[in-house]
Chains A and B, each alone.
Chain A
Amino acid sequence: MIIVFFVLAFVAVGCAISMLITRNAIYSALFLVLNFATVAILYLILGAPFIALSQITVYAGSVIVLFLFVVMLLGAERLPGGEPLRWQRFIAMALGLVLAVNLGLAITQQAGDLGMLAAPEKGFGAPVEVGRVLFSQYVLPVQIVAFILLVAVVGAVVLSRSEEISHRRELYRKPEAKE
């Protein structure tokens, strides 16, 4: 089992690093899909099949597709010019290291032994179970999230209709104050 984990972890981290390094945004998106997929498998292992499938459909399926669309639409695969903030690279990496070490230490040293993760009980994380929790205990947040999604849809539509927006902006521009 631990071997499966290490393989998946290696793929996930590799994809993440590749996404970071590659200069082409399309490649980045593709590496990200791979990363998401590996993590989805980990979710399965951890007894969260519903979430794993959501991950595949929502993230890998729609979000990344959206990304790809936009990248291609804008033609923004590559950016011209070099890195203007060269010094920031080193600081960022150093900080990243600090963060990682700190968190790692916190997990390994300070949290004590977190124990092993055995195979999940049967039925844990099944869509039925998740659904039951979701629509009983969390019914209000679900509504709110639904509303947020609606707002996002409306917002995205409004934002894309740019001509009309600029027209209305003209309409609302206040006249200069007197004197």
Chain B
Amino acid sequence: MPLSTANEILPAFQAVPWVVFFPLIGLILNLLFGKRFGEKFSGAVASLATLASFGVALSLFFALQAHPEGASVPFLQWIQVGDFVVNWAFRVDTLSVTMMLVVSGVGLLIHIYATGYMHEDVRHNGDPGRYRRFFVYFNLFIAMMMILVSADNYLMLFVGWEGVGLCSYLLIGFWFEKGKDGIANAQAAKKAFIVNRVGDFGLLIALFLMFQHFGTLEFAGVFEQAPVLAAATPGVLLAMTLFMLLGVTGKSAQIPLYVWLPDAMAGPTPVSALIHAATMVTAGVYLVVRSTPLYSLVPEAQTVVMWVGALTAFFAATIAIAQFDIKRVLAYSTISQLGFMVAAAGMGAGVAAMFHLTTHAFFKALLFLAAGSVILGIEAGHARAHAHTDEHGHDDFDPQDMRNMGGLKDRMPLTFWVYLIGALALSGIAPLSGFFSKDEILHAAEKDHLAIFWILLITAFLTAFYMGRQLVMVFGGTVRTRAAGAARENSAIITLPLVGLAILSALGGLLNFPGSWGLEHWLEHTLEGIQPSEFAPLTALISVLVALGGLGLAYAIYAVIQPLTDYRQPDPLTRLGVLWRGMANKWKVDELYHAIIVRPYEALAHFLASPVDQGVIDAVSGGLAWLSVRAGEGLRVVQNGILRSYALLIVLGVAAILSYLIWMR
């Protein structure tokens, strides 16, 4: 991997720190003046900051056209102790700039959307003062994500890695006093952070191993020395990559650490779209792709990565089928799609993974934002419907429950159409973007890993099925609640970004269109030795047929065989019995973790705190104190207070010493 030295960096590349600084400036402006100048200012500053960041990314993109080998841009010395040196240095290459473009591009659209969405949301939740805070967090997220993707070494990547985790924590718990019992949101946030920390632990260990064996954490240095290590002690490299995988499973919500992502939907919808669908959760995929030089040296690790991804994809898809919360379906779908990407990265198909990452960012952001639009519509409808009928309404009305919807196609047409585009793209229907990217992954699997291919194919079927189910339940059929009946289309500030994302979702396939392979040639400069992609018409045909089958089956069940007419009506799939209950209860994984990790830990903590710490350890010192008190009590008899006795003892002592001196010497 060619690395320019410091003195010959292109001026255009020198601008790279600004992808981080612009959001930071926006954040500081909002912190200082946001309260004074109000909502419009906050939203505008945050969006403009992201736009500026996007602009810098674009300029880097164009600069890279001429010099695709990229550069490492040092900025500041960070830590230097002994032989350990880490700098704040930025990496400009095709891979990092791709990520920057995705993050700032999608981020920009979501920022714009959020200016409208949060306006409603803060009023709906009764604290308009938090509008500014939202955009502070959002800009912080963009900054951290930029640090992550622009890092030149693993430690700086780790900074961004944990930084986005922090933003995720803050934004999931944005309405920290809301949720079930008022605490559910806060708990979801905490869960996300802690589960991510478990993953980060793995990444940390991987970093330690790297430093131990390579003496550096810089990408270039690590990748350069990796083959030597692989030849000498492949076990170490295996451990390193597997520990890194633990980090990936945390951030990218893979088995076994995926449990935080569904709960993370407690955050406002733009958060779900930006952080928990489009960008942050793909950081793990980015890490694996970035570390391809390491993974390609240990096939065992690749196998593990692949299987983790494939199993997660399948497992999450089964759960998605049985969810009623519109955002939860999308959350499990996200986990599943991340599984696709991780599997692709594990197979060494880095381009396919990045391709799917990009298209997924488009269509999943679109789906989430559209879902947000639906939720806003239902909320507004609920308010409208109950304003002039009865004042109180039923308080447990859930605007995110798909059973409460239905027939929104006519009431929110624009949202419907963009949602349809997103859903079809996700299902992999040609010629939308998802088709191309998913097809590449399937094709890569078909070549070498047939088992994986079948799992992913089944998953693709399930994906199409649950998206079809969702489309029918939300937009099709009959109106099941008054709220749904009173829903209206949202304002332009909310729908415009949807249209933008819909266009991207539809045309995203052009990025790596078969034949031109734009993305592949672009990433070639960074990822060495990638196998040339090829378009396999048969695989494509199979996958489209499978997707159509899934959609068709969903339509058949939910629209034709047993159309939903009432929100109390059970799901037709309940007839599956145990299987349904398992899927609906998320296979009880949360409960399992609670029983085998959380509970024992709490018990251990209380055991150590009370019987052990206060009882045993403190008792030792307490016992010593007790002994000396006892001894004192025994000896106090001597201190009878009578002066003459003391004098007697003194004389006794004198006599004894004298006798010793005179007789014994």
Contact = CB atoms under 8 A, between A and B. Distances in A.
Interface in A53-111: 85, 88, 91-92, 95-96, 98-99, 102-103, 105-106, 110
Nearest to A105: B662
B520 to A, nearest CB: 75
B651 interface: yes
A98 B659 CA distance: 8
Contacts of B655: 95, 98-99, 102
Interface residues of B, number: 11
B662 A92 contact: no
B625 interface: no
B388 interface: no
A105 B658 CA distance: 11
Contact of B658 (A85, A91, A96, A99): A99
A85 B659 contact: no
Given A85-B642, A95-B655, A102-B655, A110 B662 contact: yes
B662 A91 contact: no
Contacts, number: 29
B497 to A, nearest CB: 61
B651 A102 contact: no
B645 interface: yes
B645 A88 contact: yes
Indicate the member of B645, B652, B655, B659 with the most A CB atoms within 10 Å: B655
Contact of A95 (B644, B645, B652, B662): B652
- Main secondary structure on chain A at its contact with chain B? helix
A40 B644 CA distance: 29
Contacts of B644: 85, 88
Contact of B654 (A99, A105, A106): A99
B32 interface: no
B659 A102 contact: yes
Contacts of B642: 85
B648 interface: yes
**Contact residue range for chain A?**
10 to 19
Contacts of B651: 92, 95-96, 99
A91 B659 CA distance: 16
B658 A103 contact: yes
Contacts of A105: 662
B648 A92 contact: yes
Interface string B628-650: 00000000000000101100100
B504 to A, nearest CB: 67
B648 A102 contact: no
A71 B183 CA distance: 84
Given A92-B651, A95-B655, A102 B662 contact: yes
A95 to B, nearest CB: 5
Contacts of B659: 98, 102
5 contacts: A92-B648, A95-B651, A99-B654, A99-B655, A105-B662
Interface of A: 85, 88, 91-92, 95-96, 98-99, 102-103, 105-106, 110
Given A88-B644, A88-B648, A102-B659, 18 more contacts: A85-B644, A85-B645, A92-B648, A92-B651, A95-B648, A95-B651, A95-B652, A95-B655, A96-B651, A98-B655, A98-B659, A99-B651, A99-B654, A99-B658, A102-B655, A102-B662, A106-B658, A110-B662
